[in-house]
Structure 1
Amino acid sequence: MVSAQEALELHRQAVVIDLHNDVLSESVMRGKNIAKSIRGGRTDLPRLKSGGVDVQFFSVWCDGKKKHPFAYANQEIDALYQLIKENSDKMLLATTVEEIKRGIAEHKLVAMIGVEGGHMLADNLANIDSLYRRGVRYVTLTWNNSTHWASSAADESRHKIKQKGLSDFGRQVIQRMNQLGMIVDLSHVGEQTFYDVLKICKKPVLVSHSDAYGLNPHYRNLKDQQIKAVAQNGGVIGVNFYSDFLDPNYRKKIASLYAQYVSKADTIPLSVDKKFDKLPAQAKQALRPPLALVIDHIDYLVKMAGIDHVGIGADFDGMESTPIGLDDVQDYPKLTEALLNRGYAPKDIRKILGENVLRVIQAQEN
């Protein structure tokens, strides 16, 4: 067994990049100052520092119900800009690998921006250019809701959409992103959209926060052929820490505990997260899978795609339940320790923690 101190030393030497965090919508847009330690939530600047995070992609997100999603995206970016301005001694915004390296050398948290959901483009190609100028470096083409031009995994799996895949406008979106050097993110997209994109995408993609379907057949996870296709494209899959994506028994456990503690007669259909919210603390704790299950998904992805195509996209502040030991962003060193104890070489752990993602970012610039 490797000691926690040995793991921490490796963790501090590595470039640690997390591809997906929802703290902007969960905390910042609700008036919380994450420059200080905050109660509730899983992310703030002190905990990011403690967790050894070098580069954090901040997710710009809203559901499909906003009347003016593009304007709201800009409001979220404004909020991040203000946070950076007020804490310029602790963090900076990066849009290139060179800026990332400068921020790390200055011992600052490097902030990067990813837009989660193509609905925030408001069906306007010019908005892609606008967001790029503001620092956005990836767009997740859909969220759970489909756009007019790309179908989501949620809608495809529930057969709620007539036209699967990319439309002609969707193909224009991909081409424009490639021209700008904006990364295409395939988390949340349906299988048809996934393959339609890879047919025309000229640069490596991200799947920023997804897991392996082979271990848990959830519609948000990647099937074996998809994993191999990402590798062939040169892209990277960010492992998600959400219990529902990791554990194939999570939903059955919630249903059982809900019947035990809340209501045997589930007369009002509730989503998984709404049922979770009604459970007592001890039941919520019992739902959490072991940290080893995260490593199992990493093992699976590495086996299918190769060590050069796996990263981290934890999804902190975008989920109700995490594995035991991964409570918040300060717990990343535990992941490094677990990888070492699973037998991963330090050079391979450094790839998973951040080097693979750096390569994808660099490829856009090329």
Structure 2
Amino acid sequence: MDRSRLIFIFVGVGILAAIIVAIAVPVSLNNKSKRSPELARQYMRETPLIDGHNDLPYQFKKGINNQLQTVNLNERPPWDPTHTDIPRLRDGLVGAQFWAAYTSCDSQYNDAVMHILDQIDVIKRMVQMYPETFDFVTTAEGIRDSHENGKIASLIGVEGGHNIDSSMASLRMLYELGVRYMTVTHSCNTPWADNWLMDEETTPEHNGLTDFGKDVIREMNRLGMLIDLSHVSVKTMNDVLDIVTAPVMFSHTSAYELCNHYRNAPNSILTRVKENGGVVMVNFYTKYINCPPQNVTADDGYATLAQVADHMDHIKLICGWECVGFGSDYDGVGTVPEGLEDVSKFPDLVAELIERGWTEEEVKGALGNNLLRVFDAVEEERDALAADTLPYENTMPRDSGAEVNNTCRTYVYNP
């Protein structure tokens, strides 16, 4: 065979190979893109997506004064914005939901306990009204059973330590009613713990937890109640991590490194949560995802589904994939990212993680296995402490701070 013919053959083969690659690569990428949504839904059918925080119960309070019989959750609720109803929960393949029992900081020192009971009651009544959809559960195993039975496991998380009114007895009674996490503060200090706004102050009120506050944390470990560090100051986070004997959670918090908002967790804390074995469930609020606003004029800024995935990637990098979860804050925030407009969009975010190379184990961890591991560990610690740890009986000192001359208090003293 002469040299010119050989060159012609080599060139022809090269051109043919280039054509095959040019066709095959887009087809391969397209197949991957098509496969990711399918895989996302498969993984979500096999492992419950557990959302750490949804404020629908507060919308009941604001919108209809908790008169549940005036709305049908099988249809879109009448208030705006609305992120949650049963059809969209089903479309979003939500497997378990921590429903937030929230009361305003204005209720502190006044009627917080009454309001929190009101919120717990409305969550329980909602579950009872739609038994074909919801299961009320209080254990990790209950979440697994509900998912296997095609129900949405419904749990209660109290948002804000002010709701126990500085009373260990109130904390214990909330647990008896089914509350399984409490956010140590909301956006106000309690008499025993500093909230996230103190990170903007040079002189925080308590510099983290007071001695009574530390005992509240210990009592939560004894009860088997998950300790939620969303909304607290960094010093409070560190104080809690110094004394807990079980993993902690952040029910709706993102990464400070990507968005410098004090509601987010810094790398120093993410590193400690990894050591603690806890979980950080990423918040979707635009202010906590993309701050400051980039090239926009809207007050709350603008964010995308991809940026939420960036936060999950970052937490995975610093804290480990075992640390990541979903904590949407739906119906508790005014603006959410493009692509995550409501609870029906969860599969799109799961598909994005798959596109980014998250393995099946990592995706299923973020979906719910990470939270279930934490929940199991909290329950195991409760059982281990049960034999020799009695309830904490100390009371909040009434001779300092806002408790002084508090006319809302009545006291009974021993003779």
TM-score greater than 0.5 by the shorter chain: yes
Instruction: Give a deviation string over 1:18-58, Cα, whole Å, max 9, x none.
Output: 00111100235532636222243101122111110010000
Task: Give the corresponding residue for 2:309.
Answer: 295
Secondary structure at the counterpart of residue 33 of structure 2: coil
Does the alignment pair 1:2 with 2:45?
no
Residue aligned with 2:93, SS: coil
Counterparts of 1:159 and 1:36, CA distance in 2:
49
Q: Is 1:63 aligned to residue 97 of structure 2? A: no
Cα distance in 2 between the residues matched to 1:7 and 1:176:
39
> Is the Cα–Cα contact under 8 Å of residues 116 and 143 in structure 1 kept in the other structure?
yes
Aligned to 1:266: none
1:214-293 mapped onto 2 (5 Å cutoff) = 214-250=257-293, 256-257=297-298, 287-293=301-307
Match of 1:129 in 2: 172
Quote the Cα distance in structure 1 between the aligned partners of 2:93 and 2:203: 42
Q: Which residue number in structure 1 is paired with residue 75 of structure 2? A: 37
Aligned to 1:199: 242
Any gaps of 5 or more consecutive residues in structure 2?
Answer: 1-31, 381-415
Q: Which runs of 4+ in 1 moved over 6 A?
A: none
Distance, in Å, in 1 between the alignment partners of 2:284 and 2:72 is 21
In 2, the alpha carbon distance for the partners of 1:19 and 1:162 equals: 29
TM-score by length of 2: 0.78
Aligned to 1:343: 357
2:315 aligned with 1:334, yes or no? Answer: no
Q: SS at 1:27's partner residue? A: helix
Partner of 2:329: 315
Instruction: Tell me if the contact between 1:21 and 1:59 (Cα under 8 Å) persists in the aligned partners.
Output: yes
Q: Which moved more, 1:157-166 or 1:37-46?
A: 157-166
Q: Percent identity among equivalent residues?
A: 34
Secondary structure of the 1:338 match is helix
* 8 Å Cα contact 1:165-1:196 kept in structure 2: yes
User: What amino acid does structure 1 have at the position aligned with 2:74?
Assistant: K
Determine the structure 2 residue equivalent to 1:170. Answer: 213
Kept in 2: contact 1:34–1:45 (CA 8 A): no
Q: 2:372 aligns with which of 344, 358, 362?
A: 358
User: What's the Cα RMSD here?
Assistant: 1.6
Q: Which residue of 1 aligns with 2:49?
A: 16
Specify the alignment match of 1:268 in structure 2: none
Within 2, Cα distance between the matches of 1:7 and 1:81? 30
Aligned with residue 26 of structure 1, among 17, 42, 59: 59
Q: Equivalent residues in 2 for 1:133-152 (5 A)? A: 133-152=176-195
**Scaled by the length of structure 1, what TM-score is found?**
0.88
User: Residue 252 of structure 2 aligns to a residue in which SS?
Assistant: strand
Partner SS, residue 323 of structure 1: coil
Counterpart of 1:225 in structure 2: which amino acid? Answer: S
Structure 1 or 2, whichever has the larger Rg, is 2
Corresponding residue SS for 1:112: strand
1:159 Cα deviation after fit: 4.2
- Counting matched residue pairs gives 337
For the 8 Å contact 1:55–1:100, the answer to whether it is kept is: yes
8 A Cα contact 1:29 1:76, kept in partner: no
Structure-2 separation of matches of 1:91 and 1:8: 20
Moved more, 151-160 or 184-193: 151-160
How far has the Cα of 1:192 moved from its partner? 1.0
Residue segments in structure 1 that go unaligned for 5+ positions in a row: 258-274, 277-286
Instruction: Supply the distance in 1 between the matched residues of 2:253 and 2:129 (Cα, whole angstroms).
Output: 33
For residues 123-166 of structure 1, the C-alpha deviation after alignment (integer angstroms, 9 at most, x for no partner) is 10001110000110000000111101000011332447332211
- Write the deviation string for residues 98-138 of structure 1: whole angstroms up to 9, x where unpaired: 22222112211110010010000101000111000011000
> Match of 2:238, SS?
helix
Structure-2 residue corresponding to 1:52: 93
Looking at structure 2, the residues matched to 108 and 34 of structure 1 have their Cα atoms a distance apart, in angstroms, of: 18
Q: Return the match for 1:179 from 207, 215, 222.
A: 222
**Structure 2 Cα separation of the partners of residues 154 and 96 of structure 1:** 32
Counterpart AA for 2:350: T
Distance 1:155 1:42 in 2: 30
Cα offset for 1:253?
5.5
Determine the C-alpha separation between the residues in 1 that align with 2:170 and 2:101: 14
CA–CA distance in structure 1, aligned partners of residues 259 and 141 of structure 2: 38
Name the counterpart of 1:265: none
* Larger relative contact order (CA 8 Å, sep ≥ 6): 1
C-alpha distance in 2 between matches for 1:75 and 1:121: 13
